[in-house]
Amino acid sequence: MSTVVLLLFTGVGLGAIYFLVASGLSLIYGLMHVLNFAHGVFLSLGAFLGFEVASRLGATTWTGFAASLLVGALAGALFAALTERLLVQRLYERHIEQVLVTVGLGLAAVALFDGIWGTDPRFISGPAWMGRTTSVLGANVPNDRFVAILVAGLVLLGMVLFLRRTRYGMIIRAGVENRAMVTALGIDVRTAFTLVFTIGGIAAGLGGVLASHYFGYVSPLLGQTLLIFAFIVTVIGGLGSLTGAAIASVVVALLQQFANYYLWGTGDLAVVVLLAVVLLTRPSGLMGRRA
């Protein structure tokens, strides 16, 4: 029983990190039809800068942790906004070339991080409480899982409120539904493009800091590794659907954890099998629109 509870919390915690990456990917794809291969490096940059700030302010203090989250989010947002403005927007409406540009940026940025921070993982430490465990129904759950779940929950809430209650949120939702109509009404969707990239960058940056605590290290390839699972999550959840991304992140992460424990470490393969099954039965994903 305690194992199941532990796996549940670990899985949902991992799902929270997947969601932070996948939500941005899904929003960007939904509005712009761009598969953002640079999303992983937004995450890595957030993780590295968060690590730098935390180690300067004291890695084991709560101020250090809060500052690392803030800096991670800002770094992700800035990097994402610049990417959109300087690279993606120049190739307006040329989706495949937009994908290629993000692929190139991803390669170049990973190499640059290699050069700055080295290829070896940097092991990190957080506030003492995060390293300890809390007993839930007999299972000793590491506390960083709760922080990841809390932050991802807040991000989901924030995104939903933003999309439902604000003017720009409505433009983005309308753009996902029918971009041609939004443009025809005289609204400049390009601001919305920069905005979804920035929001995706914030979530990815936060995800980077949390992922580095979850895995206990930060390395230049951290983002790209998570990115592949985030791609799978967005396809399973349905491209462009925020709810789909949230559900699929948790499903994928739980499946991965349970298969790793009970099926001899086959978690990654189980996820790919799930992807194949979903594509065979519902090619547009769980919450995707029927094509």
SS3 258: helix
- Residue of 96, 128, 185, 263 interacting with another protein (CB under 8 A): 96
The residue whose two tokens read 């937009």 is 98
* Relative orientation angle of helices 222-237 and 2-32, to the nearest 10 degrees: 80
- Residue of 2, 178, 183, 191 interacting with another protein (CB under 8 A): 178
* Interaction of residue 283 with another protein, rule CB under 8 A: yes
Cβ of residue 113: shortest distance to another protein, in angstroms? 9
Compute the distance between CA of residue 128 and CA of residue 250 in angstroms, rounded to an integer. Answer: 27
Q: Which of residues 32-61 bind another protein (CB under 8 A)?
A: 33, 35
* Interaction of residue 150 with another protein, rule CB under 8 A: no
Cβ of residue 126: shortest distance to another protein, in angstroms? 28
* Interaction of residue 111 with another protein, rule CB under 8 A: yes
With a CB cutoff of 8 Å and minimum separation 6, the contacts of 240 are: 26, 27, 29, 30, 31, 176, 288, 289
Name the segment binding another protein (CB under 8 A); options: 69-77, 108-116, 126-134, 137-145.
108-116
Cβ of residue 88: shortest distance to another protein, in angstroms? 11
Cβ proximity to another protein: between 159 and 271 the closer is: 271
* Interaction of residue 128 with another protein, rule CB under 8 A: no
* Interaction of residue 222 with another protein, rule CB under 8 A: no
The CA distances from residue 285 to 85, 223, 225, 226, 251, in Å, are 30, 24, 22, 20, 13
- Residue of 11, 15, 40, 106 interacting with another protein (CB under 8 A): 106
Question: What radius of gyration, in Å, describes the C-alpha atoms of the chain?
Answer: 19
Neighbours of 69 (CB within 10 A): 22
* Interaction of residue 289 with another protein, rule CB under 8 A: yes
* Interaction of residue 263 with another protein, rule CB under 8 A: no
Neighbours of 290 (CB within 10 A): 6
Compute the distance between CA of residue 231 and CA of residue 223 in angstroms, rounded to an integer. Answer: 12
Neighbours of 252 (CB within 10 A): 27
CB 78 within 8 A of CB 104: no
Cβ of residue 105: shortest distance to another protein, in angstroms? 6
Cβ of residue 117: shortest distance to another protein, in angstroms? 10
Cβ of residue 182: shortest distance to another protein, in angstroms? 12
Compute the distance between CA of residue 58 and CA of residue 126 in angstroms, rounded to an integer. Answer: 9
CB 129 within 8 A of CB 217: no
- Residue of 165, 167, 186, 290 interacting with another protein (CB under 8 A): 290
CB 214 within 8 A of CB 203: no
Name the segment binding another protein (CB under 8 A); options: 14-22, 94-102, 161-169, 191-199.
94-102
The residue whose two tokens read 């590295």 is 48
* Interaction of residue 104 with another protein, rule CB under 8 A: yes
Residue numbers of the site for another protein (CB under 8 A)? 29, 33, 35, 87, 90-91, 94-97, 99-101, 103-112, 114-116, 177-178, 228, 231-232, 234-235, 239, 265, 268-269, 271-272, 275-276, 279-280, 283-284, 289-291
